[in-house]
Amino acid sequence: MHRHTFAFCLLLFVFCLAASAASRPRARAAGIPFEGAPGPLDAITDVAGVEVGHSTIISGEGKLVVGVGPVRTGVTAILPRGKESVDPVFAAWFSLNGNGEMTGTTWVEESGFLEGPIMITNTHSVGVVRDAVVKRRVDRSVPGDWWALPVVAETWDGGLNDINGLHVKPENAFEALDTAASGTVKEGNVGGGTGMVCFGFKGGIGTASRKVDAKVGGYTLGVLVQCNCGRRTQLHIAGVPVGLEIEKQPAQQQERGSIIIVIATDAPLLPHQLKRLARRATMGLARDGSTSGNGSGDIFIAFTTANPGAAGAADVSQIAVLPNERMNPLFDAAVEATEEAIVNAMFAAETMVGVNGHKVEALPIDRTREILKKYNRLQE
């Protein structure tokens, strides 16, 4: 082939890939009628100060060779106050079903604070990511900061990824931390969500947010998910049984996935209130159809950026606290943003082929819109 012809074909291929990505709108833009008012980005980064970064690892194809590939995995980092801050945040966690891992949570439970980033990766890479966060903290520590219990969570990507090849390295955790930024959050086949499957379709990273009415505080709440849960027949979108309506069924129907849900807010909440908030993610997950099967690790964590400096006060600290009676709008926001974040992950994720040629199809957006229209649920 002439080199100019080859170059043209390569450019055409890249253009087609870009066009394919551009043709996959976010769920709300595609007419999915979600409840609630989102923030300007409809992302966890609508909560001021929150930064998100990814490291995505994709290489190889064909037959699985452990230690070689194919590789479809990565790391995602959520920094509550951004890279420049070492100020802990009030936090709490909740396990809906414990067939999964989120390290560091016993100290979150005991202390009421999250003292660093939240990292998400694949099941067999939790250790290396945890150690990388410790190393980063040691390398950049201030006097007296001599220990760390990082929060690192996981979901299983072995259907597409050479998970036993242990391809995530410390450098990937560093990349996710170093590239973390405010603004638009990449979704779908990125970071820790690269090799994930959700409701029988390609899953991954998704995010959404809600803005509480100014009359009840005007607070912002954002959610980020790494979704790898559910069976196709369970999938509901905006109350519509989309999974049942789509005829083609994947061979694997057993529930053996997981989901990690991170909730951020700027509302002034104490740890016990944040645990109440984390529990509400359960209802957003259920709206999309999951019943949290035996093999699913469904683990949630919530934090607030309110009350900066509370952890490091030298004496009695005065903090703001929202009364329990005023939490209902935040409960609504957590449910609504969780529901939307999961659907956003599937809308963004593209078809992927992984180990042994295993192919996981992307959620067909046009077909989904047709189904919602049939049920009079599409917002044109």
Q: Does the pLDDT of residue 279 top 90, yes or no?
A: yes
In a domain, 23, yes or no: yes
Residue 21's pLDDT is 45
In a domain, 268, yes or no: yes
Residue 10's pLDDT is 39
Residue 204's pLDDT is 98
At 125-142, the pLDDT tens digits run: 999 999 999 999 998 876
In a domain, 379, yes or no: no
Q: Which of 42, 46, 157, 298 is catalytic?
A: 298
Q: Does the pLDDT of residue 5 top 70, yes or no?
A: no
Mean pLDDT of 225-254: 87
Question: What total number of domains does the chain contain?
Answer: 1
> Strands 151-155 and 359-360, how do they pair?
unpaired
In a domain, 380, yes or no: no
Residue 380's pLDDT is 83
At 168-199, the pLDDT tens digits run: 999 999 999 999 999 999 999 999 999 999 99
CATH number of the domain encompassing residue 309: 3.60.70.12
Mean pLDDT of 109-125: 98
In a domain, 8, yes or no: yes
In a domain, 148, yes or no: yes
Residue 312's pLDDT is 86
Residue 317's pLDDT is 86
Name the residue range of residue 80's domain: 3-374
Q: Regarding predicted confidence, which is higher, 6 or 217?
A: 217
* pLDDT tier at 219, thresholds 50, 70, 90: very high
Mean pLDDT of 264-271: 98
In a domain, 120, yes or no: yes
- Give the predicted TM-score (pTM) of the model: 0.93
At 327-377, the pLDDT tens digits run: 999 999 999 999 999 999 999 999 999 999 999 999 999 999 999 999 999
* pLDDT tier at 249, thresholds 50, 70, 90: low
In a domain, 341, yes or no: yes
The backbone torsions φ and ψ at residue 52, rounded to the nearest 5 degrees and listed phi first, read: -130, 135
Mean pLDDT of 205-231: 97
Residue 143's pLDDT is 61
Residue 313's pLDDT is 83
Residue 257's pLDDT is 84
Q: Does the pLDDT of residue 14 top 50, yes or no?
A: no
CA 197 – CA 42 distance, rounded (Å): 22
Q: Which of 125, 290, 292, 296 is catalytic?
A: 296
Q: Which of 55, 209, 258, 290 is catalytic?
A: 258
Sheet of strand 204-211, all strands in order from the earlier edge strand to the far edge: 113-114, 89-98, 297-304, 258-265, 220-228, 204-211
At 294-308, the pLDDT tens digits run: 999 999 999 999 999
Catalytic status, residue 258: yes
**% pLDDT > 90, the chain:** 86
Q: Regarding predicted confidence, which is higher, 15 or 232?
A: 232
